[in-house]
């Protein structure tokens, strides 16, 4: 199993755990401060599940299993897949610290952080597609 695949899968498992933790907290605490925090975290938690877990699982396993790029470079351009890994993970981390309280005008630095989160995640997906596209082939 290639190194980047291992990183994708381990990071994915951590995001799955975080997403589950938010949902468990939301189920246990129906009111009060924790309930308000989990409510604010919910859109981020959805992305932890779908991007942090599902998408990273797809990216990591397809990089490992898909047909080789060439005999000399069987897994293609590794800088693209590492960019995908860092883009998605940095994007999700920035999302965690910027999205839940994005309406709070007291913290204007959160706006550029959320924009950076959006850009990082988009770059992550785009690099993944650029990386895997030439490996979608017969053999």
Partner 1 sequence: MIMPARSQWTLRLALIYMVGGATLGAMMLIGKVHPPLAHWMNGLPLHIAWMVGGGFLQFVMGTAFWILPKFADRPSFYGNVFFFDTAVVALNVGLIVYSLAHGVAAFTFLKSWSWPLFAIALLAWMAHVFPRIKPFQGVEE
* Residues within the interface to partner 1 (CB under 8 A): 50, 54-55, 58, 62, 65-67, 95, 98-99, 102, 110-111, 114-115, 117-119, 121-122, 125-126, 128-129, 132-133, 136-139
Q: Which CB, 29 or 64, lies closer to partner 1?
A: 64
What is the DSSP annotation of 23-88?
Answer: HHHHHH--SSHHHHHHHHHHHHHHHIIIIIIIIHHHHHHHHHHSPPS-SSSTT--HHHHHHHHHHH
Q: Which CB, 38 or 121, lies closer to partner 1?
A: 121
Q: Which CB, 4 or 100, lies closer to partner 1?
A: 100
Least distance from C-beta 41 to partner 1, angstroms? 14
Half-sphere exposure of 50 (CA within 13 A, CB side): 8
Q: Which CB, 29 or 58, lies closer to partner 1?
A: 58
Least distance from C-beta 75 to partner 1, angstroms? 15
Least distance from C-beta 138 to partner 1, angstroms? 5
Contacts of 76 (CB under 8 A, 6+ apart): 69, 131, 132, 134, 135
Per-residue tokens: 12: 């994915």
């Amino acid at each position: 199993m290639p190194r980047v695949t291992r990183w994708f899968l381990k990071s994915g498992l951590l995001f799955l755990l975080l997403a589950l933790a938010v949902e468990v907290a939301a189920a246990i605490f129906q009111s009060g401060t924790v309930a308000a925090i989990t409510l604010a975290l919910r859109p981020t938690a959805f992305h932890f599940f779908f991007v942090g877990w599902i998408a990273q699982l797809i990216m990591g396993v397809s990089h490992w299993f898909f047909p080789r790029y060439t005999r000399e470079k069987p897994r293609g351009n590794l800088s693209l897949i590492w960019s995908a890994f860092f883009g998605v993970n940095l994007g999700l981390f920035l999302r965690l610290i910027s999205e839940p309280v994005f309406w709070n005008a007291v913290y204007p630095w959160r706006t550029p952080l959320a924009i950076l989160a959006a850009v990082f995640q988009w770059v992550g997906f785009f690099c993944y597609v650029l990386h895997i596209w030439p490996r979608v082939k017969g053999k």
